Structure 1
């Protein structure tokens, strides 16, 4: 069995972060989102991985390399434009051959991995298996309709009037039958080859398409709100560990990891939180669900429920929360302007000024 990982999207909902960085490499608990998926694939016993890459291919390649450090053998497959998930399958035909494969969206996050799902697929041998989860806003996703027997009877991409609240999770398992499906469909109104259309083709031609509704945690990390929520979820499982230096005037409470080379001085860290290698925390408060990446500087401020990326600095700011701060960013107080009122008042005026 092989894996096809999609890492070519533009990440428009995470701009401006993704103007200069691949969305799949934005870190959660100081590790790129993409790596969680690759680790789940490796844990499932899959070693041959094709990664679909686009404009950020060089950055993805530099981060992942040949995959050896993750126990994987990685092949990069360029996609000239984001033309749909089914198009990714189409261009990966030579890599995939006739093998079964799992398709994993590189910006998705699933707690618990996919090992059990892969094993079930290998045992039951359907033509396709999709993962579903109940969501409050199904119109933002691909949506599945199930029959009375629990089998998939219909799929629709981002429907105006959803027929259910079951959204497709960004992990799919396919046999070689899907290759015929992706060749048979036409581009959608979005000018993309939709994987939902390909799966619908399998259903319509009598193929065995099964569904698993997951109850565990899943997120599409496509926007800042979801990134912060995934960061919170991962940090809740952090093991406390202090390898860096924490002076006697500082206090570390709860599930906090202070990596080697980090320095905490006259500060209070309340977990769950991670302070990355080389980071310096001085005269500050770092609150729960905060990830501070490597070589950051947090000085004379309070920060909570936030992600701070590599080499950023936050100094002299009273309170920062629910924020995603990019690489090499500098956050400082605004300059203080002299407070004055300049007035031109007519006769008999009455003015009230709040001083």
Structure 2
């Protein structure tokens, strides 16, 4: 049943956000296009969509919309049919879903947040939607501490009973994981051309109208890639095979190094580190749980932990970087020490020994 179901379901991916929490990486690159485990992040999601049997994809874009179309084109290189709808003004999650209506082909659409890294079984979500004759199905996730999220309690049949904002005393450990199945007529009923939140307006109204809103609950891998910490961990989890991606099957391990990169003798690459095209890693350098973009130079003896280093940046010999974001083309001089969420903007140059945190300088 699933294959046919998936083939007759549109996949809609909302990729309009600006990714402000990941600046300066997102100054020029939309967040879903950031290199993640060797590919633009969105390719991992598209590979999961294709593996599930969906063929028609609509991207709802806004910020730097042209970047998506330049890379993916009509989708034929990826075995998909991809179309684009641009939001000229941000419309919120509900408005963004309504905005793609004219491109939908089927009676059902599966809607994805373009910055969530997930491992849920998409066919199982579709199956439960159809079997329950649902109008809308939400992928719900069980988490250890639901206080930071909106909670979604369900009854014994899996039917959603409420949508609750973040609260100190949540009545359930089920949270909205940001993947939905909508019947087409529900999308048609969303008002057009204004900002609408699916969580605050659309879903509560569906419950008021007593429509069939169900939750598909699991504990699959899930991570919102919006912060530097989550971005680094998500990339690392893909490389190590903790987060699933059809693109990496059979290629998981401690590091993912592009064939064109050069790694010097005695360099250590650990924790799901990614090294991009043409990068050069000096002898004795130590890279742990980090994402190194294309063309980066890391000189001998440098230590880079839980960092993202933008394309073409240079890290000097024996520099120590922990929990940092280094912008494109920046230069961190030898023996510098950057820690705790430091962000260096593109093209900035810090001289040798120019910045330290230690008290033993």
Sort the TM-score into its range (normalised by shorter chain): 0.7 to 0.9
From 62, 67, 71, the counterpart of 1:63: 71
Report deviation, 1:290.
Answer: 2.5
Query: Residues 323, 136 of structure 1: CA spacing in aligned structure 2 closer, same or farther, 3 A cutoff?
Result: farther
Query: Residues 284, 59 of structure 1: CA spacing in aligned structure 2 closer, same or farther, 3 A cutoff?
Result: farther
Which consecutive unaligned segments of at least 5 residues does structure 1 have? 242-253, 338-353
Query: Residues 213, 205 of structure 1: CA spacing in aligned structure 2 closer, same or farther, 3 A cutoff?
Result: same
Query: Residues 82, 158 of structure 1: CA spacing in aligned structure 2 closer, same or farther, 3 A cutoff?
Result: farther
Q: Residue by residue, what CA displacement relative to the aligned partner does 1:105-142 show, whole Å, maximum 9, x if unpaired?
A: 10011025523323443454421110112346645443
Report deviation, 1:298.
Answer: 0.9
Give SS of 1:171's match. Answer: strand
Q: Residue by residue, what CA displacement relative to the aligned partner does 1:188-222 show, whole Å, maximum 9, x if unpaired?
A: xxx53334522222222222211122212101111
* Counterpart check, 1:307 vs 2:311: no
Report deviation, 1:7.
Answer: 0.6
Any residues of structure 2 matched to 1:172-191 within 5 Å, and which? Answer: 172-183=180-191
* Counterpart check, 1:108 vs 2:107: no
Contact in 2 for aligned 1:259/1:276 (Cα 8 Å): yes
* Counterpart check, 1:234 vs 2:238: yes
Could you tell me which residue of structure 2 aligns to residue 171 of structure 1?
179
Mapped to 2, the partners of 1:116 and 1:178 lie a distance apart of: 21
Any residues of structure 2 matched to 1:68-83 within 5 Å, and which? Answer: 68-83=76-91
Contact in 2 for aligned 1:299/1:316 (Cα 8 Å): yes
Query: Residues 89, 160 of structure 1: CA spacing in aligned structure 2 closer, same or farther, 3 A cutoff?
Result: farther
Q: Residue by residue, what CA displacement relative to the aligned partner does 1:293-334 show, whole Å, maximum 9, x if unpaired?
A: 322211121112333332222122432223333332322244
User: What TM-score, normalized by structure 1, do the two folds share?
Assistant: 0.80
Give SS of 1:155's match. Answer: coil
Contact in 1 for aligned 2:240/2:255 (Cα 8 Å): no
Contact in 1 for aligned 2:303/2:319 (Cα 8 Å): yes
Could you tell me which residue of structure 2 aligns to residue 51 of structure 1?
59
User: What TM-score, normalized by structure 2, do the two folds share?
Assistant: 0.79
The alignment's C-alpha RMSD in Å is: 3.0
Contact in 1 for aligned 2:229/2:306 (Cα 8 Å): no
Which consecutive unaligned segments of at least 5 residues does structure 2 have? 1-8, 242-247, 337-350, 355-359
Query: Residues 125, 70 of structure 1: CA spacing in aligned structure 2 closer, same or farther, 3 A cutoff?
Result: farther
Give SS of 1:270's match. Answer: strand
Mapped to 1, the partners of 2:93 and 2:196 lie a distance apart of: 8
From 200, 203, 206, the counterpart of 1:202: 206
Mapped to 2, the partners of 1:262 and 1:324 lie a distance apart of: 21
Contact in 2 for aligned 1:130/1:172 (Cα 8 Å): yes
Report deviation, 1:64.
Answer: 2.2
